[in-house]
Amino acid sequence: MKEQKCPADASYAECLYYAANAFARQMTKMADDAFLPTGLSASYAVLMMTVNHQPGICPRDISQRMQLTPSTITRLIEKMEYRGYLERRSTGKFTEVYPTDAGEALVPVIQSAWKNLQAHYEGLLGQEEAHALVQRLTGAVAQLDAP
């Protein structure tokens, strides 16, 4: 009888990569759930908020804000354009992204879903802890970004 149950078990129980991804998956599921009433999954909701907050923003800036690659942003925008929520206006190599009326109409719905999401995880984790986590995570992101 050597290793039968070992609950938290092996090496990777302490691995940051590992913990980060497990947590992110959970949060994404929770977020997609919360955003269900908007008809969008979480990333799209974030995109819509970003564009609504700063109409005319260019893809590269969206990419930086959302910390997703430009190609991903293109894909996200495409879909929202197709769905009639966003519109691209290109002049030369530059592109500006605007919400359509339908896109603007979505804002309050998204915002309320967002509040619910926050309430949900704060309810489960405690407000303190949730906030501390966000702090640490954004801090870490910044630190890993620099070099």
Q: Which residues bind a second copy (CB under 8 A)?
A: 3, 8-28, 30-31, 42, 46, 49-50, 53-54, 65, 67-68, 111, 114, 117-118, 121, 124-125, 129-130, 132-134, 136-141, 143-145, 147
Cα-based distances in Å from 137 to 16, 43, 60, 87, 130: 12, 18, 23, 32, 11
Shortest distance, position 5 Cβ to a second copy, whole Å:
10
CB of 54 to a second copy, least distance (A): 7
- Start-end of H helices in 6-93: 16-34, 42-53, 59-66, 70-82
CB of 15 to DNA, least distance (A): 13
C-beta of residue 47 within 8 angstroms of C-beta of residue 66? yes
Q: What is the Cα–Cα distance from 78 to 123, expressed in whole angstroms? A: 35
The binding site for DNA (CB under 7 A) comprises 21, 25, 29, 41, 43-44, 58-60, 67-79, 88, 90-95
- Minimum Å gap between C-beta 143 and a second copy is 6
Nearer to a second copy by Cβ, of 82 and 94: the residue is 94
As a whole number of angstroms, the distance between CA 144 and CA 136 comes to 12
Residues facing 95 on adjacent strands: 90
For DNA, give the closer residue by CB, 41 or 116. 41
